[in-house]
Structure 1
Amino acid sequence: MTHSTASEEAIAVVRRNTEEVQGGGNFDIFDELFADDFVDHTPQPNCTPDKDGARALYHVLRAAFPDFHANIHWQVADGDLVTTYKTYRGTHEGVFLGVPPTGRKIHFETVDAMRVRGGKIVEHWGVANLFSLMQQLGAFPAGGTKA
């Protein structure tokens, strides 16, 4: 397999996860896309850094934002490592990080990198703008502070 082919296949796996599992709520293919020894190097609050933690996070997001989905702005791969810049969107209809449903439309940006081996996601690193999300939910003041 060439470097280019490996990159294209890795992008397809990551895109499937973003569109079908996260965005579509199709948890039937979660095990197909994630390796049993998956490691999340940057787990979200209250999540374990493993496959079960990723699955639990996706369930929490779908419960809090039933229409949760991502707009992928760009993806690039270097061999088996795929970096994605995307904006998540949804409507807050369930509890999220202790915040009761507000009915508000939300959006927040994320950059993540996922390593794909043997057609499965084996590692993840990511940065999500959760501060912006929590501001939109009213958990933090939206304005800046004056010094």
Structure 2
Amino acid sequence: MDVRQEDDAAIAVVRRNSLEVQGGGDWDLFDKLWSDDFVDHTPQPGAGADKAGVKGLYLGIREAFPDFSPEIHWQVAADNLVTTYKTYHGTHRGEFLGIAPTGRKVSFYTVDVMRVVDGKITEHWGVATLLDLLQQLGAVPRFGASAE
């Protein structure tokens, strides 16, 4: 397999994770796509830095936002690393980060880098606009907003 084919295969793994696992709740596929020795270098609040931690995070997000869906804007790959820029959308129907359901529709964006080796996700680095999400849920005031 040449380098371009390896990059395309790695992108396909990460895309399937975004669309079918995160967006579709396919937990059997999660177990196939994620390496047992996975390491998250930037775990989200309350999530572990291993495969079980990520699965718990994903389950919690889908419980809080049953219609959770990713919109992939672009992906690039080099040297087994896939960078993805995407926006997540959902409706807050369950508790999330200690915040009771609000029924609000939200969206926030992320930039993720995932290492894919032998068809499995082995590492992750990423940033997400969680402050924006918390503001949309009413848990944190928006900057410049007057007190209500």
1:83–1:111 CA contact under 8 A, matched in 2? yes
For residue 144 of structure 1, report the CA deviation from its aligned partner: 2.4
| Equivalent residue number for residue 110 of structure 2 | 110
Q: Following superposition, which runs of at least 4 residues in structure 1 exceed 4 angstroms of deviation? A: none
Summarize deviations over 1:88-120 as a string: whole Å, max 9, x none.
000000000000000000000100000000000
For residues 40 and 133 of structure 2, what CA distance do their matches in structure 1 show? 21
Summarize deviations over 1:3-33 as a string: whole Å, max 9, x none.
1011000000000000000000111111100
Matches within 5 A, 1:1-147: 1-144=1-144
Which letter does structure 1 place at the counterpart of 2:29? I
Which letter does structure 2 place at the counterpart of 1:58? Y
Query: Kindly, what percent of the aligned residue pairs are identical?
Result: 62
1:33–1:120 CA contact under 8 A, matched in 2? yes
Which letter does structure 1 place at the counterpart of 2:119? G
Which letter does structure 2 place at the counterpart of 1:124? H
TM-score (norm 2): 0.96
For residues 26 and 17 of structure 1, what CA distance do their matches in structure 2 show? 9
Which letter does structure 2 place at the counterpart of 1:19? L
For residue 79 of structure 1, report the CA deviation from its aligned partner: 2.8
Question: Which ranges of structure 2 fall in alignment gaps of 5 or more residues?
Answer: none
Question: Which ranges of structure 1 fall in alignment gaps of 5 or more residues?
Answer: none
Summarize deviations over 1:40-67 as a string: whole Å, max 9, x none.
0000001110000000000010000000
For residue 143 of structure 1, report the CA deviation from its aligned partner: 3.2
For residues 130 and 33 of structure 2, what CA distance do their matches in structure 1 show? 25
TM-score (norm 1): 0.97
1:84–1:112 CA contact under 8 A, matched in 2? yes
SS in 2 for 1:111: strand
What RMSD in Å do the two structures reach over aligned CA positions?
1.1
Which letter does structure 2 place at the counterpart of 1:136? Q
For residues 104 and 79 of structure 1, what CA distance do their matches in structure 2 show? 40
For residues 144 and 21 of structure 1, what CA distance do their matches in structure 2 show? 37
